[in-house]
Amino acid sequence: MWLFEALMEEGVTRATAERLCYSYERSFAIYPKRFYKETERLRKEKEINYCFIGTLMVDPETQRNREWIIEFAKKKMDTGSYLQITDAVARNSHKPLGKFDHTLTRQGLVPKELPLDQRSRFDAHYFKTMALSKFCLCPAGDSHWSMRFYEALMCKCIPIVKDRIDTYRSKEEAQLAYKYYTHNEEHIYKDDWAVENYKLFLERHTFEHGLPDALTEASPSRD
């Protein structure tokens, strides 16, 4: 969905963009300008320590991969942090963990609970919270990775994962020098890490610097 939108932003014809989305080996997760340009306007001084806005029990695999979130929140989060579990199943049985827990006081956007044609919505609250945060918990979802990891890079928010395998979705991404922490390390916010991550995000996860050769060669027709 986002690869298609990013290709269209670069002037690739609709027919070619549709073909490339199915034939191009998607080595890197791609975001359209609509996301990262808007996020640039949201970034200000970091006011929040840890944040997590997302689902917990939306499907069995996600639930298994995110069990550590609650224990982490109990141990590490305080009034300077922000927690919001968004899926209906988890919210129905959730007991607030403290003033930082907004699970029952704010309705969140859950893409999996929306029709396909509405899942690309830009969630301003989600991205603004992340942009104001030093660290974002980026657990795996229904696979061994989550788009939240890339969104944290976009927001200059340092990702925190459970295991290092949670930081990439392809062998090509596994070679990138992302800066992040695992959940049981000491977490120190470093501006240079945030800047390096953002540069890497623009280089590998957007078409900000133009289409990669593999796509240019495969897309002779442009609008």
Q: Where are the domains of the chain?
A: 44-201
Domain 44-201: top CATH class: alpha beta
Task: For residues 69 and 141, give the distance between their C-alpha atoms in angstroms, rounded to a whole number.
Answer: 12
Q: 3-class SS at 158?
A: strand
Give residue 217's pLDDT. 59
> How many separate helices (H) and strands (E) can be counted in the chain?
10, 5
Task: For residues 198 and 165, give the distance between their C-alpha atoms in angstroms, rounded to a whole number.
Answer: 20
Task: For residues 147 and 119, give the distance between their C-alpha atoms in angstroms, rounded to a whole number.
Answer: 13
Give residue 117's pLDDT. 77
pTM of the model: 0.90
Q: pLDDT in tens for each of the 223 residues of the chain?
A: 899 999 999 999 999 898 888 776 678 999 999 999 999 988 778 999 999 999 999 999 999 999 999 999 999 999 999 999 999 999 999 999 999 999 999 988 887 777 777 778 889 999 999 999 999 999 998 888 999 999 999 999 999 999 888 788 888 999 999 999 999 999 999 999 999 999 999 999 999 998 887 676 555 554 4
Q: Any idea how long the chain is?
A: 223
